[in-house]
Structure 1
Amino acid sequence: MTARAGAGAVLLAGLLAGAEAKAAEMKQGHGWDITVEANTDFPLSVGGRLGVESPWRLRLSTSLGYLPGAYLQAVNEGAIALDAYDRDRADLIKEALKSSLVWRTHVGWRPFPGAGLYVEGGYGLVALGGETNPETVLVALTGINPPAGEEVLNREYRVRSVLHMLDVEVGWRWGLGAGWTARTALGGAFTLDSNSRVEPQFEPSNPLLVTAFSRFAEGYLDDTFEQYVHLPVLSFSIGYAF
């Protein structure tokens, strides 16, 4: 009887330990996890983020925001201080990207069940920003000669660019209790391709020369973005997990 009682106690202890381990596993997030966040990715965007984590700790996230002028100003001042590019290039980047829409989509993995560490990578799109500038400003910023023989006065151009970026980040997420979460990450965004448009906001008297000027300016913009716009990114979010 004593042997049987001992065996039963061992079996019961094993079952209890297994149940406790399962409960701990569930607490560590091994179910489906959906999180909605208010998010900033400095110096890229301010907006919102939706994240999903599977029972296997595979992650998918997407965020949508806008690029504040203050963020661009901070990037440009830092780049000028480090002699990465000059003031004219900084002003051109600001005019082409100010108030752009920023969309980022990542896939990733949280490698350790009991820790908030994660790694992600994916695609970023910066689009729909830009300003209308007088031709004299555009000429000063690019160094390209204006179209000769154009008779229209007060010539202005709309300058817009679309950047396609590679994103990577390493971060940590904390549970704050009652479903609330906080997250921070350090990563990078690297411009792979740029598509710029310089569009005259007037009816040219010499369309061929104006078109040639616009195409040269677009090429200058694309070269600038692809060469210089590669950014460290610091992210911070407050969210709620369902």
Structure 2
Amino acid sequence: MPDAIFAHPRLAPIYDAFDGSRSDLTAYLGIADELGARSVLDVGCGTGSLAVLLAESGRKVMGVDPAEASLEVARGKDRAGRITWVLGGAATVPVLDADLAVMTGNVAQVFLSDEDWKCVLQSIHTALGTGGHLVFETRRPEQRAWEEWLTDDAYTVLDIPGVGAVEQRREVTDVSLPYVSFRHTYRFLSDGATVASDSTLRFRSREEAEQSLDACGYRVRDVRDAPDRPGREYVFIAERTT
């Protein structure tokens, strides 16, 4: 079940407004160029920001997400109908012979159990063609990002066209490493409605991630910094080898 922030019909349409410009996504376009990827699978595509950029660059793109409300927003951005949108979890990914699969943002960290993580890696492995690549980012646990979240008691109010003013608050609700849970609460000032979304992320070490990739038929080609959060995230580039 996807978090309400992605699945609720009032939250998905305002997700992009609070998520910001997503300047981090240009790095993925650069990686796609570097790898010569012409067909791309966007796992956990959400509202489709990266998928649209990839399609605009002339690539064949499929976006997969379990939240229908987010896909509705994504389809609205794809006015030319160039992208194939699939409702479902990572395990539903068809065999594509894709050159590249990506998981951006917190997608790689929402798979909490070892079995779920293994399942998504295997499903993507099947969807990739021989020599295809998987690229994903994950927060470095040693940076303890949740400690900043714990002390951040600020809130944000945005005036969103067609919606009005919306207040967002975030609070950490549990830290039981390697799991960190938090809640986003949104208040729609136009009618006073309040909607909360609870999320949990798993913080895997670099060694854990590399071992899991190796066990699922990948070779780690590179581990880089995320350009928008230097020193805070790993960006893994792994090649399908079997």
Q: Give the TM-score range, shorter chain.
A: under 0.3
TM-score by length of 2: 0.22
